[in-house]
Amino acid sequence: MTKVVVVYHSGYGHTEVQAKAVARGAEKVDGTEVQLFNSEDAQQNWDALNAADAIIFGSPTYMGSASAQFKAFMDASSGIWYNRGWKDKVAAGFTTSASQSGDKLNTIVQLAIFAAQHGMIWVGNDLLPGNNSSSGSVNDLNRLGGFLGALAQANSDQGPDVAPLQSDLLTAEHLGERVASITKKLRS
């Protein structure tokens, strides 16, 4: 059994929808057990994270970086960092912001550096960028054109029932599936 944990923070529900899509994608891979924790609950469930083969991190982009709540989780993991508890686990990341860019690449870079500090193995997004040609559309997977993780954009006046777009959720799902499938290969 491959164990994948998804840890996220979401102030208003958009990143939570994205996190659930990542989890759905990971569940598609046979023999994968997926657990989803918000970043506060994760701090009460370190055993589950320590037992995971892969941990996928997600945060909304607030002020061009991870939210304070997600950063609290990152900082609380420093004891595990010291003991190299997550070394060689697979890692990946995702984020939602309101603007098309919104400086959200910085959040993904922050998550990737966090994983690197833990000695984890970062898995990026392999989907070619969509929505970047005259025949492209917002319905394309990876419509925001990022390779380091799964990116989503949610209009600031829309709730998580309609935003982010389905294309962003399918992109997140794809990342979850990719992480689970690569983790399974690494374990075999």
Interface residues with ligand FMN (CB under 6 A)? 10-16, 60-64, 96-99, 102-103, 154, 156
Cis omega (within 30 of 0) for bond into 129: no
Structural tokens at position 120: 């984890």
The smaller minimum CB distance to ligand FMN, of residues 14 and 24, is found at 14
The smaller minimum CB distance to ligand FMN, of residues 97 and 181, is found at 97
The smaller minimum CB distance to ligand FMN, of residues 50 and 106, is found at 106
> CB of residue 134 vs ligand FMN: minimum separation in angstroms?
26
Structural tokens at position 63: 């002020």
> CB of residue 131 vs ligand FMN: minimum separation in angstroms?
17
Residue 56 DSSP symbol: E
Count of Cβ atoms closer than 10 Å to residue 78 Cβ: 11
Alpha helices in 77-165 (DSSP H): 78-82, 104-117
> CB of residue 145 vs ligand FMN: minimum separation in angstroms?
15
How far apart, in whole angstroms, are the C-alpha atoms of residue 187 and residue 66?
30
> CB of residue 60 vs ligand FMN: minimum separation in angstroms?
3
The smaller minimum CB distance to ligand FMN, of residues 96 and 110, is found at 96
Name residues whose C-beta falls within 8 Å of residue 157's C-beta, 6 or more positions apart in sequence.
none
